[in-house]
Amino acid sequence: MTSFGLKYPSQLLFIPLIFFLLVPSVTFAQLDNRCFTESECIADRKLNGVAGTPVTDSEARAGFYKEPDAISVCGKEKTVNGKTEALGFCLPVGQTVTAISFGGKSQFANIGSFIQYMYRYGILAASILAVVMIIVAGLQWTMSGGNTATIDSAKKRISGALVGLFLAVISYTILNTINPFLVNFRLPQVWMVRNVSFPISTCNQVETGKRVGFYRIQGEEKGTSTDEKKQAFSQTTFSVDPARADCGQVYFIESSAAEICHGVFCEQTNFACVQPDLKQKSICMKAALTGNIEAGPNFGDPNEVIDNNLNLVALCENGHTRLVGGGIDAQTTKDGRGQFYLFPREPVSSLCSGDGGLLGYYLVAEVNDTRGAFGIAIAGSDDWHAIGRDPQNTNLCNVNLSKWVRESLSLPVDCGDDAQDSSCSCEGIADTLEGNTTYMAKLKTDLQKYLFTQEELQRGTQCNIHLDRSSFPALDESVVEESCDE
C-alpha cells in the first residue's frame, strides 16, 4: 500500500493552513475599544450630539448597533456589579431609516447594508414572481381545452419564469463564488471608540467616579496570559475605591479596555509603598517619601542612575531654598536590577518660617554622568538636578524643575548635552527665583503642582523617579559643579 504521507508530502502542508483559515478568530469585548454597553453608547451620543446637534434619548439609542458582526467582536452582553447590559458598537451618527419598509425592514446601518439587503430582497421577489407565473401558466394550460396555441403560450410562460429565476439565482451564486464582497457589500464603517488615556501606573490616578477590581498580586505570573486576563476581567467585581487600592496588588480599571493599575495605599500613617525587590511585590515601608528609580538610555548601569546623594529641598514663598537635614543614599534593590530611595522622616514644618512660609518640597539628586552611548561608558563628574513630580501623575517624579521654571518664565535655558551654564542644573531654581517676588507671584499656583506638601510627607508618599537625557542632560562639569546643598 502506498503511503500518502510519503507520496504527497506537499499536500499535507495545506491541512494546517486550511484549518487555521477556517477556524474563526476570537476577540474579547473589553480589549476592543469599539465595544460599548448600551448605556455607555447613549451617554456618549447625548454628550457629544450627532453632527454637533443635541439628541434625545431615543435618537441616542438609535445609534447603538448590536448586529451579528458587532456581537462577534464584543459578545452579546456584559454584567457589571450585577447589572447585565447588551454590548455592541456605537455610531457617531444615526442609522439610515427609509420611508418605505422592505420586507418589514426599514433601518440600515449604512448604504452598503441597504444595497446588500435589496439584492437579497430582489432574489426573493423574483422567486415569488416566478412561482406566481408558473401557477398562472399551469392554470392557463389546464383551462386550454386542448387549444394548441394556448398550451404553447403556457409552456413559454413556464420556461420563461424558470429561466428568469435560474438567471437571478445563478448570477448571485457566480458573483458570490468569484468574490463574496461583490454581493455582500461592506463599506468602510466609522464607529465611535472609547476614550483611551495614557496607561495609568497607580490606582490613585484613576479618574474620579471609576472603581477598580482586584486582578492579582504584583509579581505573580499567574493570570498574566492573554486568555487568563480576559477571563479574569470578565469575572471582576469593581468595588474598590482607587485611592484605597492596597500596595502590592494589581487591579483592573472599571469601564476600560482591561487596563490595569497598581495599588499604593498604606493603612498606617508615615508609611509609603515601594518595591525594594523588583522580583517581589511592593510593600509599605516607614517613610515620608519613597519610590523606585529608573532611567532611559545613556545612563549606564541601572544600579547607578543616582550615584550617591539624594536631597529633599524646601522652596519658600519668597523663592529661597532650604535643605532638609542631611541627604540620603539611593539603595540598590535586592534583586540587583535597579534602585530605590527612602526618606524615613518628615521634615520640620518651620524651615521657611522666616521666608514667608513654605511653598513645597522637591528632590535634588546627584545624577550619574556615566553614559552608555554606543555601548561605551564615558565617565564624568556627576550632575546635580532638581526633580519635581508630574502634575498629571503625582506618583511619578520626572520633571526637571529648573528647566520648567525657566521655560515658564520665557527665560533662556541650556539643557543640551554638556550644557555650558547652570540654568538646567539644580542651581537654576535659586538663581531664578530667590528674592524675586515678581517671578514667584507669577509661578506660585502652577509651581505648587510640582511640589510635595507638608501633609503628604507627614502621611507618607510614593514618587517613582524616572530620568531621561532630554530633560536631565549630562552637564559640563567645568561650568556646573554646585550640589545645591545650601
Residue 248 and residue 282 in one domain: no
Residue 432 and residue 336 in one domain: yes
Q: Give domain status of residue 243, yes or no.
A: yes
Report how many domains make up the chain. Answer: 4
Residue 233 and residue 107 in one domain: no
For residue 407, what is its C-alpha cell?
521655560
Domain holding 397, by residue range, is 271-467
Task: Say what the pLDDT of residue 329 is.
Answer: 92
Residue 131 and residue 241 in one domain: no
Please say which residue of 152, 182, 212 terminates a domain.
182
- 383-390 and 461-462: which strand pairing? unpaired
Per-residue pLDDT of the chain (486 residues), as tens digits, is 444 344 444 444 444 444 443 444 444 444 577 888 888 888 888 877 665 577 788 888 888 888 888 888 888 887 765 678 888 888 876 555 666 666 666 666 566 667 777 777 788 888 888 899 899 988 888 888 778 888 888 888 898 888 888 887 788 788 778 887 776 666 567 788 876 544 568 999 888 888 999 988 887 766 567 777 777 887 888 999 999 999 999 999 987 677 889 999 999 999 999 999 988 999 999 999 999 999 877 676 777 888 778 999 999 999 999 999 778 999 999 988 899 999 998 888 888 998 999 999 999 999 887 654 433 444 557 889 999 999 988 999 999 999 999 999 999 988 877 666 788 899 999 999 998 999 999 999 999 999 999 999 999 999 999 998 888 888 876 555 556 655
- Claim: this prediction has a pTM higher than 0.75: no
Residue 343 and residue 328 in one domain: yes
Q: Residue 397 forms beta bridges with which residues?
A: 389, 465
Residue 81 and residue 129 in one domain: no
Residue 159 and residue 76 in one domain: no
Q: Give domain status of residue 7, yes or no.
A: no
Residue 111 and residue 61 in one domain: no
Residue 76 and residue 121 in one domain: no
Give me the torsion for CA of 220, 226, 231, 233, rounded to 10°: 80
Q: Give domain status of residue 367, yes or no.
A: yes
Residue 258 and residue 280 in one domain: no
- 77-80 and 83-90: which strand pairing? antiparallel
Residue 436 and residue 334 in one domain: yes
Please say which residue of 47, 65, 92 terminates a domain.
92
Report how far residue 84's alpha carbon sits from residue 13's, in angstroms, rounded to the nearest whole number.
Answer: 45
Q: What is the 3-state secondary structure (H, E, C) of the chain?
A: CCCHHHHCHHHHCHHHHHHHHHCCCCCCHHHCCCCEEHHHHHHHHHHHCECCECCCHHHHHCCEECCHHHHHHHCCEEEECCEEEEEEEECCCCCEEEEEEECCEEEECCHHHHHHHHHHHHHHHHHHHHHHHHHHHHHHHHCCCCCHHHHHHHHHHHHHHHHHHHHHHHHHHHHHHHCHHHCCCCCCCCCCCCCCCCCCCEHHHCCCCCCEEEEEECCCCCCCCHHHHHHHHHCCCCCECHHHCECCEEEEECCCCCCEEECCECCCCCEEEECCCCCCCCEEEECCEEEEEEECCCCCCHHHCEEEEEEEEEEECCCCEEECCCCEECEECCCCCCEEEEECCCCCCCCCCCCCCEEEEEEEEEECCCECHHHCCECCCCEEEEEEEECCEEEEEEEEHHHHHHHHCCCCCCCCCCECCHHHCCHHHHHHHCCCHHHHHHHHHHHHHHCECHHHHHHCEECEEEECCCCCCCECCCCCCCCCCC
Residue 86 and residue 105 in one domain: no
Task: Say what the pLDDT of residue 464 is.
Answer: 95
Contacts of 239 (CB under 8 A, 6+ apart): 81, 211, 213
Residue with cell 454637533: 52
Q: Give domain status of residue 321, yes or no.
A: yes
Report how far residue 263's alpha carbon sits from residue 462's, in angstroms, rounded to the nearest whole number.
Answer: 11
Please give the C-alpha separations between residue 429 and each of 173, 182, 200, 238, 443, in angstroms, as whole numbers: 77, 68, 30, 44, 12
Phi-psi sector, 25: left (phi>0), alpha (psi -120 to 50), beta: beta
Q: Give domain status of residue 14, yes or no.
A: no
Q: Give domain status of residue 397, yes or no.
A: yes
Task: Say what the pLDDT of residue 374 is.
Answer: 38
Report how far residue 34's alpha carbon sits from residue 481's, in angstroms, rounded to the nearest whole number.
Answer: 54
Q: Give domain status of residue 88, yes or no.
A: yes
CA 264 to mean position of chain CA atoms: 20
Q: Give domain status of residue 305, yes or no.
A: yes
Please say which residue of 223, 241, 262 terminates a domain.
262
